[in-house]
Every structure is written in C-alpha cells, then in structure tokens.
C-alpha cells in the first residue's frame, strides 16, 4: 500500500499572522504539523524550525535507511528539532521562551504501520469508515490532571486553565516525545491537526467531513472552513494522509491472454 497526503494552513478569523506550519515529505512518507507559541512572531519561527529540522533530518544521512526503525528515526528527528529550537532561543533574547507543539507521522509500507510522534496538543486522528479515533493524548494541564485523577468532574476542571501546554519543542534542552505505532489498513485516513481545528470542531464533525470528500484537498479545505465558521479564534492547520493500494486508480489492468 501507499500513502497520499494533502495539507492546508489558515490564519483563522481572529489572528493577524499564522504561527502554524506543516510539511509533506511524500518521498519519505513523513508528514508534520507544528503549532508555534511565544509571541512577537517567535512562535512562527519555532514552528518553521521544527518542520525544517525534521525535513532536513530525513533528507540527510541520519534519516536514511539504517539499523533504526522508522519510528526510532521519527522520534530522533523530533528530538533534533527540539535541540535546534532550544539552541536558537537560548542564544537570542528576541526568541527567548519560544516553542512549538508538533505531531509528526511516518508511514512504513513494508510493515503497513503508521508511526506517530508528538509533543503538545496538536493531534493525530484515524478515520476508518465512520469511526474516528484520537491516537494522541494532549500534553496539557487538563489532560495531565485527568490522567492522574480520572474521577475529576467538569466542575473540577473549570478551575484549571484550558490552554496550558505541559510539553513542547524548544522549551528545554530535552523533551519527552510520545511515540505510537498504529496498524494501517487500506482506506484509512489519518488527520494531523493543530488545536485550531480540534478546539472548535467535534470529532463527529471531523469524521463526517472527511467521509463527505473523496479528494483530500477538498476535505482539508472543508475542515478549515468548519473551524472558521465556528469562530476561527486560532490558526488552523490540517494534514490528511490516506492509505491506498499501490496501483493508482487509473492504472490499466493487463488483459489476460
């Protein structure tokens, strides 16, 4: 099987610049969404550096085929991005404190596996038919609190700030990166997105939109539109990755002799 992908990033309705960044590397089956933070456009620098560093890793010798698995190389690329962003922030007062969330996916055709590495609250979902499943756990104050104390009620959670991220690239010299391996099936659609989407559009709406659009670019545009129609209070970035048969749909089949 093979992976095809499309992505869209939009400034939203209430921001004047876009701190999100995405990158598609189809030659390596690698796809990335980063959501920067830090103010004074530092977040834009951090997200751009994250995407660039991951791309450079896979395009260079370190990302080539070797003893490490696809998942290990993906994690190593994200860790290298963290080190570069932290070094830039530590070296410049202008960029002090900048960081970025990241969610990165790498498809391994030989294994029929999708590896997902992430830090922060940018998410990965899998849409399989009418079912949608969140594959990542937000690294946020609320999510961490629920992990420690699942019995917390909605009333309890109201006293916690909603937008506090507990992990991100560039904040410290090292970062704990979650890595997940997911079996991929033909027809699966994987969504990578910033919180500008999942903070405004429900999982059910996301699945419905993905299923309504056969063309991935159309589905990306419709997801962004849904976020903007719901207020567009943040930048919104989506990348869709669909698993297909190796042969393109227009390939002619050989006639039997």
What contacts 48, CB < 8 A, 6 or more positions away? 21, 34, 36
* For residue 198, pLDDT beyond 90: yes
Confidence (pLDDT) at 152: 54
Helical segments of the chain, H only = 42-59, 70-91, 141-148, 154-157, 195-198, 203-212, 216-229
* For residue 257, pLDDT beyond 50: no
Where are the chain's structural domains?
Answer: 2-244
Confidence (pLDDT) at 254: 44
CATH architecture of 2-244: 4-Layer Sandwich (3.60)
**132 to 11, 62, 171, 206, 241: CA distances (angstroms):** 26, 34, 32, 8, 14
Average pLDDT, stretch 151-168?
67
* For residue 234, pLDDT beyond 90: yes
Average pLDDT, stretch 41-60?
93
Q: Which two tokens stand for residue 34?
A: 């980063």
């Amino acid at each position: 099987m093979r992976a095809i992908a499309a992505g869209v990033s939009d400034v939203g309705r209430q921001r004047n610049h876009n701190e999100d960044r995405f990158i598609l590397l189809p030659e390596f089956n690698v796809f990335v969404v980063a959501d920067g933070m830090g103010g004074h456009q530092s977040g834009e620098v951090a997200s751009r550096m994250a995407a660039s560093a991951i791309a450079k890793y896979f395009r260079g010798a370190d990302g080539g085929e070797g003893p490490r698995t696809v998942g290990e190389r993906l994690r190593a690329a994200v860790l290298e991005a963290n080190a570069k962003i932290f070094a830039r922030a530590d070296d410049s007062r202008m960029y002090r404190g900048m960081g970025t969330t990241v969610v990165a996916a790498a498809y391994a055709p030989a294994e029929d596996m999708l590896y997902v590495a992430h830090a922060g609250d940018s998410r990965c979902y899998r849409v399989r038919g009418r079912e949608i499943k969140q594959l990542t756990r937000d690294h946020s104050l609320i999510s961490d609190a629920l992990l420690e104390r699942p019995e917390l009620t909605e009333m309890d959670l109201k006293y916690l700030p909603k937008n506090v991220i507990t992990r991100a690239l560039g904040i410290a010299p090292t970062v704990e990166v979650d890595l997940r391996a997911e079996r991929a099936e033909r027809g699966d659609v994987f969504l990578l997105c910033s919180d500008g989407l999942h903070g405004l559009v429900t999982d059910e709406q996301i699945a419905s939109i993905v299923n309504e659009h056969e063309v991935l670019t159309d589905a990306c545009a419709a997801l962004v539109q849904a976020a903007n129609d719901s207020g567009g209070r943040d930048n919104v970035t989506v990348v869709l990755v669909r698993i297909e048969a190796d042969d393109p749909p227009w390939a002619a089949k050989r006639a039997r002799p």
